């Protein structure tokens, strides 16, 4: 099935999961379900749940549209980022920054989670028209 650490993503056993950026951060693959597809840059890999791993607000602004386009109707997107307490964590990236970028891209934040001591995430879905 999937590892305990994947539980914060509210995944079901049938969810198709695509992760963007996970290859760039050692150790985050342990947070992913075994069935997750690790996407290459600039590809679109449709899924019920898309996980986007980024380190800075600039990375998020650049990658958000690609990840959001991969979310199937009725699906959701998790933006995962290192906490500011971690060496190398970006102080410009936090749940408020993610929420603001979601809203600027017609998405709405619906929750957040602490994934580990080093990673946090904001959960979003397309905004209703």
- pLDDT value at residue 89: 58
User: Domains plus CATH for the chain?
Assistant: 4-126 (3.40.50.150)
- pLDDT value at residue 87: 60
- pLDDT value at residue 42: 57
Below-50 pLDDT ranges, the chain: 1-6
pTM above 0.75, yes or no: yes
- C-alpha 26: how far from chain center: 16
Share the mean pLDDT of the chain: 85
- pLDDT value at residue 6: 46
- pLDDT value at residue 5: 44
- pLDDT value at residue 4: 41
């Amino acid at each position: 099935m999937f590892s305990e650490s994947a539980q914060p993503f509210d995944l079901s056993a049938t969810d198709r999961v695509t992760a963007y950026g996970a290859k760039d951060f050692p150790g985050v693959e342990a947070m992913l379900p075994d069935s997750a597809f690790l996407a290459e840059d600039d590809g679109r890999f449709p899924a019920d749940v898309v996980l986007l791993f980024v380190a800075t607000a600039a990375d998020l602004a650049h990658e958000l549209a690609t990840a959001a386009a991969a979310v199937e109707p009725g699906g959701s997107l998790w933006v995962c980022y290192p906490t500011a307490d971690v060496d190398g964590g970006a102080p410009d990236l936090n749940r408020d920054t993610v929420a603001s970028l979601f809203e600027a891209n017609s998405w709405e934040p619906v929750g957040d989670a602490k994934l580990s001591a080093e990673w946090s995430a904001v959960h979003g879905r397309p905004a209703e028209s």
